[in-house]
Amino acid sequence: MTSAKDLTRGKPMSLILGFGIPLLFGFLFQQFYNVADTAIVGRFLGGDALAAVGSTGSVNFLIIGFVMGICNGFAIPVAQMYGAGDFKQLRRYAANALWLCIFFGIIITAVTVIFCADILRLTNTPDDIFKRAYIYILTIFAGIPAYFLYNMTAAILRSLGDSKTPVSWLVIASVINIILDIVFIFCFKLDVFGAALATVIAQFISGFGCLFRVCRGFAILKMDRDDWTFSKKHIGTLCAMGLPMGLQYSITAIGSVILQTSVNNLGTMYVTAVTAANKLSMFMCCPFDAMGSTMATYAGQNVGARKWERLNKGLGSCVLLGAVYSAAAFLVLFFAGEHLAMIFLDEKSRYLLPLVKQFLTGLSAFYFPLSLVNIVRFFIQGMGFSPIATFAGVLEMVGRTAVAYLVGIYGFAAVCFASPAAWVLADAFLIPAYFICKKRLMRKYETAAPMQSAAPAEAK
């Protein structure tokens, strides 16, 4: 069984790469879920079906993003207790996090399923694709427990330094997802419902795989009855970390929903173009997601061990990686974006490629600010300042919403620069916020008794 990984010792760049690369593959395979759905739907069910799936993208992110956010937030105290070597408290946090996921899973699933049609109407989903959009997103909402299962168990594993197990199960699940896409759409003629159902089933499979690893893979996670006891203290700390992170995702997504509404108003042609471009861009942005998750664990463990000098070093190393990759990604999308977008479009939709290139160029030119949003925000959250980092989500919403209102004046050009405006505005807050948070941490602990800086015990 693989050992947990200590990020409080060693060269930050080597640790970040060693921990982040498996995470990157995990995010890539997670995107394969979406890519498989979109490619099969777009190429074999047609442009209208692609638009139906794409029109739900921002709503999907609003809800699923909240799930991802709170699960990642719940894992921060686990990472901090691992860095501190307090495995008893680590187990209490992990157990109470799972209780919270069951509670939130039931509530969110019920609310979204009941109000699914109303949500789509609020986003002005075009009438000609409304039925398909409703069927697709309703199925995804009904599968929300699967997203909780995977994201919570994967977050716990990552907090212990195990970034490989979530990847392994995502690889298996992605293959199953593609097979089920083909079976459900071609053999059973289930249309967009088949694509959504395949995604939910695959998510459940990856979640159960990670759950098995959590239950059987680490001695420090072997719980007794006392560990499973509901604790108001631990629940309070978990909610203080998780809810702001979930709200951050949702607040950010509100701006995306408003922007999607503006795109929907432009018509199905623009919805299809933005959907294809967004799917490609999301795939290219997976390294930024991996960097963010890596920084959350890195910061959490080093704050737990009170190794303040390693914070700046780790952050600087990851920012350098973000800058290099941002430049490379821009070049790829500028010169090959149109060709890659044909993965999601059928030949009848080729006329949309100029719109796709315009949108991709606007996004990728600002990938470095996006990398900073992910790196710095997750780093601040890992340090234990989730509410402060949440304000960056508010600024993203403000930036995206402000530009969305200009779509009526400048048309599609405004759509292309809505997200870049959001990223720049968030960075203007996050960068100084990091230094303030670090000073607060050092001030908080400077009068406390010095902590033993020994590495956590090996956990198998």
User: What pTM does this model have?
Assistant: 0.75
Handedness of CA 256, 406, 267, 366 (dihedral sign): negative
**Phi, psi for residue 64 in degrees, rounded to 5:** -65, -35
pLDDT tens for each residue of 445-455: 765 544 444 44
Residue 59, pLDDT score = 86
Percent residues over pLDDT 90 in the chain: 46
Q: What is the pLDDT of residues 126-168, one digit of tens each?
A: 888 999 999 999 999 999 999 999 999 999 998 998 988 988 8
Rounded Cα distance between 329 and 326, Å, is 5
Residues 213-255 have pLDDT tens digits of 998 888 889 888 889 998 999 999 999 889 988 887 787 777 7
The pLDDT score that the predictor gives to residue 157 is 94
What residues does each domain of the chain span? 12-443
Tokens of 331: 């070049």
Give residue 39's pLDDT. Answer: 73
Residue 123 near residue 58 (C-beta atoms within 8 A): yes
Side-chain-facing half-sphere of 381: CA atoms under 13 Å = 39
User: pLDDT of 424-444, one tens digit each?
Assistant: 999 999 999 999 998 888 887
Distance CA(141)–CA(64), nearest Å, equals 9
Tokens of 11: 């060269």
The CA-based dihedral angle spanning residues 295, 296, 302, 308, taken in that order and rounded to the nearest 10 degrees = 70
